[in-house]
Structure 1
Amino acid sequence: MTENVLQSAIDAATACADIARKTVLPYFRTSLRADAKSDDSPVTIADRQAEQAMRDILTERLPEHAILGEESGMSGTNGDWLWVLDPIDGTRAFLTGRPTFGTLISLFHKGRPVLGLIDQPVTGERWIGVSGRPTQFLSDRLPGTIGTRPCPKAAEAELSCTAPEIMTASHAPRFANLQKHTRRTSWGGDCYAYGLLALGQIDVIAECTMNPWDWGALVPVVEGAGGRITDWQGGRLTLESDGTVLACGDATLLPELVHHLS
C-alpha cells in the first residue's frame, strides 16, 4: 500500500469504529431482544445498525472496495480490496452486560489482512494494527503498553478461549491436550482476549469455528505487537482457512503449541 492509500484506509477504519461505538453504546445493558441466526448465534438491532453505519462510511469514502459483513454478507466485486466487518464480536457478552465484546474492522488486500482494528466501546480501548508496523493501543482510561511478553514454554503459558462450546467433536480433544500442557485456562473474552495478548497479559489463544470477520482484524494487531497468529497447523490464515485460530505472544512457542494441537 502507498502511504496515501494506507492513510485513507486507517482514516476510514477509525471513522467506522467511531460510528459503531456511538451506535452500540446506547443499547448496552438495556433490555435488548436478540434474534437467533441460522447457526443459532444471537444477533441484535445493535449489530445490524452498527454494520450498516460502517458500510455507509466505506461506500462513501472507498466505493471501489468490496465489503463483507457478518450480518449483511458481501457487497461490491473488487477482487483486490475487501473490508471485513463484525459490528459486535461477542454478542453473548454484549447481551449479558459484560464489556468484553468488541467491534472488528479489517481490510484485506489480495486475500491477506493488511489492516485490523479492535474497538471496545465501553472501556474506550482501541487497537490498530497495520501490516509491517507496530500496533497502536489507544485508551483514555485504562493502562496498557503494546508488546507481547516472553513465554518460551507452554507449561508457563496462560491459555484463553471464548467458550468450550465452540469446540467441535474433533477439535475438543486436541484443545484438551493443549490445556494439559499449559499453566491454566481462562474462558471468555472473544476478540478482547486478543487485545490483551497484544498487551502481554495472555500468552496463548486457541479457537475454532472462526469466520474471516472473527479473525481478520486480529492478525495485524497480534503480529504488530510481536506475536504470531496462524491456524492450528501453524499455517497462514486466509479466506479459505479451516476456521481454527492459534495466537501466541512468543513466536518461539508456536511449534510446541502446534504439536500439542496435532
Structure 2
Amino acid sequence: MRVTPELARDLVATAHELADAARTATLQHFRSRDLTADTKETHRFDPVTEADRLSEAQMRAILARRRPADGILGEEYGAVCGSTGLTWVLDPIDGTRGYLSGTPTWGVLISVRDATGPIYGIIDQPYIGERFEGGLGRALVRGPLGEAPLAVRAPRALNEAILFSTFPEVGTEEEGAAFRRVARRARLVRYGMDCYAYALVAAGQIDLVIEAGLQAYDVQAPIAVIEAAGGIVTDWKGRPAPEGGRIIAAASPALHAEALQLLNG
C-alpha cells in the first residue's frame, strides 16, 4: 500500500509510544526476586510472565486509542482483524528465558506490516535503553552512546564472519546438523541473544543469525530493521519469511548465499 508522509509520521510516532509503554511495563518486573512464570507447553519450558501480558496489554490499549482500525497480531493475545490494510505485530518480551534469568539480552519487538510484509520495525532493549528502528526511510539506533545510523558490516567470507543463534541445538536434529555445517566454517559462534542478535546485525557488529521454529512476531521487526540497515533476511531457501520458520539474517548477499549453500547440504 502507499504510505503518505503524514501516515509514515503517525506510524513511527505510534510505534515509539508503544515501545515507551512496553519499557515501563517490562522494567516494572525485571530482576524482581518474586517474578514467576507459567509455561505455554507441557513438553518443554516455554515461559510467559506477568510482564509479557502487561506489556502487550498496554500496547494494545494505545493502538485502540491511536489506530483502532488497524489489525493486531500479538504473541500473548492473538490476532485482531483490521480494515486499513495495516497490522501491528507485537512481541511484548522476545527472550522471556533471558528476562527470567536477569540478562539484558531480551527485547520488545514492534512492527507494522501491509500485505507484502513489514514496512517498519523497532527492536527495543529497555534495561540498556537501546532502541533500533528501521523502515519508512529510517535506520538508526538510540542508546547510552547517543544516536547513530544503522549499517551492516562490510561484506566478508564466512570464515571471517561472526554467527549467532539463540539455542545451540537450533531446532530439530536435522536443523541442528544444518546449522553446524555453517558454524564449523564461521570465525566465531555465540548463543543466547534472542532478538538482540538481529539488532547487532543491523548495527554492524556481527554478520549472521541463523534460527529455526520462529513465529511472525519473532521476525517481522528484525526484518524491517535489518533490511533498512542494508542486510538481508530470508528463510533457509532464500525466500521471504515474514511468517517466521527457519530464518537466516545476513549482512551481505554473498555471505547469505555462502551460508545458504551449507544449510541446504
> Shared fold (TM-score greater than 0.5)?
yes
Displacement of 1:111: 4.1
Gapped regions of structure 1 (runs ≥ 5): none
Partner-residue secondary structure (3-state), 1:207: strand
Partners of 1:179 and 1:166 lie apart in 2 by 11
Contact 1:35–1:42 (CA under 8 A) maintained in structure 2: yes
Q: Distance in 2 between matches of 1:76 and 1:103?
A: 22
After superposition, what is the alpha-carbon deviation per residue over 1:176-222, rounded to whole angstroms, capped at 9, x for unaligned?
11111211210111111111111111111100100000000001110
Shift of 1:166: 3.8
2:140 paired with 1:146: no
Partner residue in 2 for 1:33: 36
How far 1:169 sits from its partner (Å)? Answer: 1.9
Question: Is 2:115 the counterpart of 1:110?
Answer: yes
1:251 aligns with 2:253: yes
2:199 is matched with: 195
Query: CA offset at residue 55 of structure 1?
Result: 0.3
- For 1:210 and 1:20, the matched residues in 2 are separated by 21
Q: Is the 8 A contact 1:123 1:142 kept in 2?
A: no
Amino acid of the residue matched to residue 226 of structure 2?
V
Contact persistence 2:71–2:83 (CA under 8 A): yes
* 2:79 alignment partner AA: M
Q: Give the counterpart of 2:229 among 225, 230, 244.
A: 225
Distance across 2 between alignment mates of 1:145 and 1:62: 28
Structure 1 residues 141 and 84: CA distance shift in structure 2, 3 A: same
Q: Where do 1:82-97 residues align within 5 Å?
A: 82-97=87-102
Which deviates the most, 221-230 or 32-41? 32-41
Pairwise CA distance, 1:26: 1.9
Letter in structure 2 aligned against 1:97: G
- Residue 244 of structure 1: SS of its match in structure 2? strand
RMSD: 1.6
TM-score (norm 2): 0.93
CA offsets 1:68-122 (integer angstroms, 9 cap, x no match)? 1000101234372111100000001110000000000011101410011000000
Residue 145 of structure 1 deviates from its aligned partner by 5.1
Structural mapping, 1:1-262, within 5 Å = 1-31=3-33, 32-38=35-41, 40-78=45-83, 80-131=85-136, 133-141=137-145, 146-239=150-243, 243-262=245-264
Contact 2:219 2:242 in 1 (8 A): no
> Normalising by structure 1, what TM-score?
0.94
Q: Which runs of 5+ in 2 are unaligned?
A: none
More strand per residue: 1 or 2? 2
SS in 2 for 1:27: coil
3-state DSSP of counterpart to 2:180:
helix
C-alpha distance in structure 1 between counterparts of 2:146 and 2:198, whole Å: 16
C-alpha change, 1:238 and 1:141, in structure 2 (3 Å) is: closer
Report Cα offsets for 1:108-155 as digits up to 9, x if no partner: 101410011000000100011115x34111113478652111133111
| Shift, 1:238, TM fit | 3.0
Q: Among the aligned pairs, what percent are the same residue?
A: 38
In the alignment, the residues of structure 2 paired with residue 162 and residue 144 of structure 1 have an alpha-carbon distance, to the nearest angstrom, of 26
